[in-house]
Amino acid sequence: MTILILNASPRQQGNVSRMLLAMKEEAKNANVQVDEVNIQDLYIRPCTGCMVCREKSECRLPEDDAQRVLCKINSCNLLVIGAPCYWGNMPGTLKLLFDRIVYGLISKGNHGFPRPLHKGKHAILVTACTTVFPFNWLFNQSRGTINSIRSILKLSGFKIAAIIEKGGTGTSLVGEKELAHCRKAIRRFLKRHDQF
């Protein structure tokens, strides 16, 4: 069992980072191997849209961190993605990564439908935004972030095991309640997969 955590928040003391840390600690307490990547630190060239990867299943651009992260995604059992809500969506840094690794997430299937390459794997999504509940959900703020990441992961074959959202971060930092949710999500996943 390997858990890969992708942290798309540039704030290492921010809400998303705190929630991911709680999950990492919970997994480590259960002796599960955890690998963590800070998306902000990666060097990834933007996709040029050449579409060659759809035919050749590899990117024509020189190797950079996009391919390295894809290798990690390929070998993990659980993918945890933490992404703050930026403009009701995911941060551009994370989108850049997804754009560059399309060929490693889906392949060309019959009748033009994409074929998922990660069937049988699971993902947990974590997000935070300043808009308070329930408006973060009603007005597609953190919900927009979750929906955009979820649609990519579902097309890629991942099952979403849990979603954790923290609204209203302008007035309150993530607290023990949300951190407990995060730990519980990891515990439940590991229990279901016989790791406890």
How far apart are the C-alpha atoms of 131 and 74, rounded to whole Å? 34
Q: Is there binding between residue 139 and ligand FMN (CB under 6 A)? A: no
With CB under 6 A as the contact rule, the residue among 78, 128, 182, 185 that binds ligand FMN is: 128
Q: According to CB under 6 A, which residues from 26 to 55 bind ligand FMN?
A: none
Using the minimum distance from each CB to ligand FMN, give the nearer residue, 98 or 103. 98
Q: Is there binding between residue 123 and ligand FMN (CB under 6 A)? A: no
Count, residues near ligand FMN per rule CB under 6 A: 17
Written as six digits, the tokens of 7 are 């942290």
Where does residue 96 rank: exposed (0-12), middle (13-18), buried (19+ CB within 10 A)? middle
Measure CA of the first residue to CA of the last residue in the chain; give whole Å. Answer: 12
Radius of gyration of the chain (CA): 17
Q: Is there binding between residue 131 and ligand FMN (CB under 6 A)? A: yes
Shortest spacing between CB 133 and ligand FMN, in angstroms: 11
Angle of helix 176-192 relative to helix 15-29, nearest 10 degrees, comes to 40
* Interface ranges with ligand FMN (CB under 6 A): 9, 11, 14-17, 84-88, 128-131, 141, 169
